[in-house]
Structure 1
Amino acid sequence: MTTLMVQGTTSDAGKSTLVTALCRWLRRQGIGVVPFKPQNMALNSAVTLDGGEIGRAQAVQAQAAGLAPHTDMNPVLLKPNSDIGAQVIIHGRALSNMDAAAYHDYKKVALDAVLQSHQRLSAAYPVVMVEGAGSPAEINLRAGDIANMGFAEAVDCPVILIADIDKGGVFAHLVGTLALLSASEQARIQGFVINRFRGDIGLLQPGLDWLEERTGKPVLGVLPYLMDFHLEAEDAIDTRQTAKAAETLRVVVPVLPRISNHTDFDPLRLHPQVELIFVGPGQPLPAADLIILPGSKSVCADLEFLREQGWEAALHKHLRYGGKLLGICGGLQMLGQRIDDPHGLEGPAGSSEGLGLLDFVTVLEPQKQLRNVSGRLCLENAPVSGYEIHAGVSGGAGLEAAAVQLDDGRCDGALSADGQVLGTYLHGLFESSQACSALLRWAGLREVQTVDYQALRERDIERLADLVEAHLDTARLRQLCGLA
């Protein structure tokens, strides 16, 4: 049984991408491989087969490995709910909210959870492909580390270090990171991978030779910059757009401070007939066909922020001019009359006035709802599937005209009497092709081109595996994976 870990010189260096690529590369060879991330900090999450919650990136890596997502793939998930605190999720279940100091003290307990998950996966799969978090050279986080070298030392595994040349300073990143590690940690680094290179590789070769001579460690390969490539982001919002058709639907998403599961909008961003606009703080909401209120980790605080930005008045103006408004999860809760937080789950206990566009009230409860679901959308009776991740329980007369009739017999969300406002708890609803098309027609697009989002994701996972074959030292990789 072999564990191989990918660590990065920075956040967004390409760790998630390389782990995804290696998982699919090994699967192609018939090798049983499972992704693993000891600790993840992200507001993009997924619901697992065993009814828990893990980082969204690990769900994509599971797809690359041909597996259903499981809580052991990401035993510790931190979901920030303030600048200094986060909800701590262990083995898929929310434990409590902790500030940074409290979590630092809790890391010894968290490490036990990490090692338990790793042990179970190691017993079940020949290769465990591990993704680190951030950078192993973050000196302030070294004590009690469970995300990078602290984990690698605990399980005694080799490490690949990846850096992003597109950011600039790639040799300083690699050499500097190596220099800040202890002697035993340096010995764990078995090679470097340079990510997102564009240009003449011959011009880079002198630098690669220098790097190997300076560090005594091999460059395992240089991955080219992929154009028109999509992999669901772990945290940062991806604003890249594909080429658009002549007739487009303008969709606007207000970016809230604690926006969650913004991967909901990737199918729209990639749709050739949708102009997707993310609007940040200090920016007015532009004219749009459809405005979507996204999910939120701190619904009441984000609703207050929305009002501070002047966006509430803009939403009412949008509706007066005939625009459509969609709320997803936390966005659905904002559409109601009131949000009650009697237990102080997202801040001080109390209530917040909703936007009053749908007649229902939401009560935040300690037990989080985690489900993978399917059903039929009220629009065109289109089949839809998705997942629920929410603490709120909503009830009221406004929910009688449901947005989705679920296959388990429950009703979800609501559609307003005038047909302009729709809300649902379902994340991922745009990934269902027929539901996406029905929603775009509802929003005003006349002739909708059907896009198979699942096929696009699968295509790009395959492209990553192709890059491993073409640009990395596969013989050395097989050795590091314990393969003959």
Structure 2
Amino acid sequence: MKKHKNIMIFGTGSNVGKSIIATGLCRIFYQDGYRVAPFKSQNMALNSFITKSGKEMGRAQVVQAEAAKIEPEVFMNPILLKPTTDRKSQVIVNGKVYKNMDAREYFAFKHNLKKEIKRAYDYIRENYDICVLEGAGSPAEINLKEDDIVNTGMAEMADAPVILVADIDRGGVFAAIYGTIMLLEESERARIKGVIINKFRGDKSLLANGIEMIEDLTNVTVLGVVPYVKLGIEEEDSLGIDKYNEKKDAKIKISVIKLKHISNFTDIDALSHYSDVSLKYVKSANELGNEDVIIIPGSKNTIEDMKDLVEKDMARKIIRLAKSGTVIFGICGGFQILGQKITDLNNLESNLREISGLGLLSIETVIEMEKITTQYENTLKNVSGILSGMENVKINGYEIHQGYSYLENGDKSKNLKEIQKNCIFGEKKLKGMVRENVIGTYVHGIFDNFEFTNSFLNKIRKNKGLEYADKKFSYSEYKDREYDKLAKVLRENIDIEKIYEIIEKE
């Protein structure tokens, strides 16, 4: 095996493109014959994934692992923080829940995690040629630098050279570069070996003077200017989900409820690649009413999001639209919201112990201590309504949920056997249910299954009198082409040879 090398990506702030640059470098190093692994010591995101071993990790490193053509494993992201409220987060260590903590408690505790981070990184050091590390937010948050484990502290722990990424699209790029570098300690500045200016629109020659001046001021080389390019690579967090714009000529209109605690919104990504499907995120009741499908996605705080839907009058509007025939599709937290009630006796997610759901499915959900984290594979059963004709369609995905949903048993007048016929996977602890035009499931990634998605969309087309379509669309193959496209863009606009020099010198 070649001697292990590494490179770390810092950013001048959040959402500047650290993850996408790291992803592109993973693909480039893979293309060049190296065994490469991504690494982010601590991720804060509500977008997560479940590995084959049932461990939970951030999806950004899953994307980077896909680009590197390796199986996602939890050692690539040993610490994951999932915000449950404005003040608290669920702390996940090595893929399993540790506990919920507020910011002050976690700040005092996090130094204890260094040994877990070092163990994870050492595994990569011993088994991979190159590691592409990613920082979080800005490394120059001077009030948070003590016991840092994700930016400068991680760079020191891995002894990694650093590339700083700056986003010109938001303005003030040179001030952001200079300010970030100058706020670092001298030893930290010494690690920064290059700068990448990201998301540029226009004539690059106009930047020449500015680049020359910032190099003189910082004594750091600008490695390239990456143009703004539209790529079909999923966003790391919800800051980017409003990229879905309505397609004016699309025949199928889908509204996605933008919950306050929305999670795993990447479940929707595959739908955006159908030419006749228009997707939009909605946050108010008056935005609803002209769509064919309403999707209620995952939530990290289902009870609070249900409460918010009621307060915004969106709950009443969704119920009315469901009764008029609009297809309602709930995923994970959205599935729980479709039921009769949600109970949280241990206050794991909310101060409320119980709340009524939308009442569109005959289920009740109990938030329990055990967190379900597993990959899932099954075939559809007991299909009816909008899913009729899809018997035995294969579904692959994964589950991440706190607690279970059960068939409602409070109303003795209901025929339990009739209700059971709507359980689309057949388990007693429900994974999914359909009732005419209302569908719910715990399976994340369900729309990545093109046979299911084709059949589902064709049901919508049939209901609208539209022509049947048979698009053999593989989302995984599409993503793989996008990783190659990203690598090509970076090779054309960044000095990759200089990056190799940087990692070889260290």
TM-score by structure 2 length? 0.90
Match of 1:439 in 2: 456
Query: Offset of 1:196 from its aligned partner?
Result: 1.2
Residues 1:217 and 2:220 are matched in the alignment: yes
8 A Cα contact 1:74 1:91, kept in partner: yes
Structure 2 residue 298 is the aligned partner of structure 1 residue 295: yes
* Contact persistence 2:370–2:402 (CA under 8 A): yes
SS of 2:294's equivalent in the other structure is strand
SS for the counterpart of 2:57 is strand
Amino acid at match of 2:119: Q
2:422 — aligned with what? 401
CA deviation map 1:351-394 (0-9, x unaligned)? 22222221121111212111112222343233221111111211
Q: How far 1:241 sits from its partner (Å)?
A: 4.1
Question: What letter is aligned with 1:81?
Answer: T
Is contact 1:242-1:269 (8 Å) kept? no
> Quick one: which amino acid aligns to residue 195 of structure 1?
N
2:235 pairs, out of 233, 237, 240, with 233
Which structure 2 residues correspond to residues 331-410 of structure 1 after superposition, within 5 A? 331-348=334-351, 350-377=353-380, 378=383, 379=387, 380-381=390-391, 382-396=393-407, 397=416, 398-404=419-425
Alignment CA distance shift 1:391-1:166 (3 Å): same
Among 124, 143, 166, the alignment partner of 2:146 is: 143
Q: Tell me the amino acid that sits aligned with residue 2 of structure 1.
A: K
- Please tell me whether the aligned partners of residues 242 and 270 of structure 1 are also in contact (alpha carbons under 8 angstroms): no
Note if contact 2:161-2:503 (Cα within 8 Å) is conserved in structure 1.
no
Residue in structure 2 matched with residue 83 of structure 1 by the alignment: 86
1:79 aligned counterpart, secondary structure: strand
Is 1:191 equivalent to 2:210 in the alignment?
no
Using the TM superposition, name which of 315-324 and 178-187 deviates more. 315-324
Match for 2:494 among 472, 475, 484?
A: 472
1 CA distance for matches of 2:182 and 2:503? 26
Task: Using the TM superposition, give the Cα deviation of residue 157 of structure 1 relative to its aligned residue in structure 2, in angstroms.
Answer: 1.3
CA displacement 1:4-25 (0-9 Å, x = unmatched): 1101001111100011000000
- Counterpart Cα distance in 2 of 1:168 and 1:245: 30
**What CA deviation, in whole Å up to 9, does each residue of 1:166-224 have, x standing for no partner?**
11111111011001101011001011011111222222111111111111111111111
The CA distance in 1 between the partners of 2:373 and 2:488, in whole Å, is: 35
C-alpha contact 2:285 2:317 (8 A) present in aligned 1: no
- 8 Å CA contact 2:60–2:236 kept in 1: the answer is yes
CA distance in 1: counterparts of 2:156 and 2:101, whole angstroms: 26
**Deviation at residue 243 of structure 1 after TM alignment:** 8.4
Letter in 1 for 2:433: A
Alignment of 1:64 onto 2:81: no
> Structure 1 residue 411: deviation in Å?
6.3
How many residues align? The count is 479
Residue 413 (structure 1) aligns with: 432
Residue 128 of structure 1 is aligned with which of 118, 128, 131? 131
CA distance 1:282–1:146, change in 2 (3 Å): farther
Deviation by residue 1:401-422 (Cα, 9 ceiling, x = unmatched): 223469xx98621111xx1111
1:439 is paired with a residue whose SS is helix
**Match in the other structure for 2:413:** none
How far apart are 1:124 and its partner, in Å? 0.9
Counterpart among 151, 159, 168 of residue 162 in structure 2: 159
Shift of 1:230: 2.0
Once the two structures are TM-superposed, the CA of residue 441 in structure 1 deviates from its matched residue by 2.6
**What is the aligned-residue identity percentage?**
39
Q: Which segments of 5 or more consecutive residues in structure 1 lack a partner in the other structure?
A: none
Q: Supply the distance in 2 between the matched residues of 1:190 and 1:345 (Cα, whole angstroms).
A: 45
Cα deviation for residue 400 of structure 1 reads 4.1
Unaligned runs of 5+ in 2: 408-415
SS across alignment from 1:352? strand
Determine the C-alpha separation between the residues in 2 that align with 1:99 and 1:243.
Answer: 38
- Shift of residue 479 of structure 1? 2.5
For residues 351 and 74 of structure 1, what CA distance do their matches in structure 2 show?
34
- RMSD over aligned CA atoms reads 2.0
Give 2:469's match in structure 1, choosing from 425, 448, 467: 448
SS at 1:239 equivalent: helix
TM-score scaled by length of structure 1: 0.94
Q: Is the 8 A contact 1:403 1:422 kept in 2?
A: no
Q: Is the CA contact (8 Å cut-off) linking 1:137 and 1:181 kept in structure 2?
A: yes
Distance 1:247 1:474, change over 3 A: closer
| Amino acid in structure 2 at the alignment position of 1:414 | M
- Give the corresponding residue for 2:411: none
Q: How does 1:88-103 map to 2 (within 5 A)?
A: 88-103=91-106
Contact 1:284 1:311 in 2 (8 A): no
Q: Say which of 25, 29, 53 aligns to 2:28.
A: 25
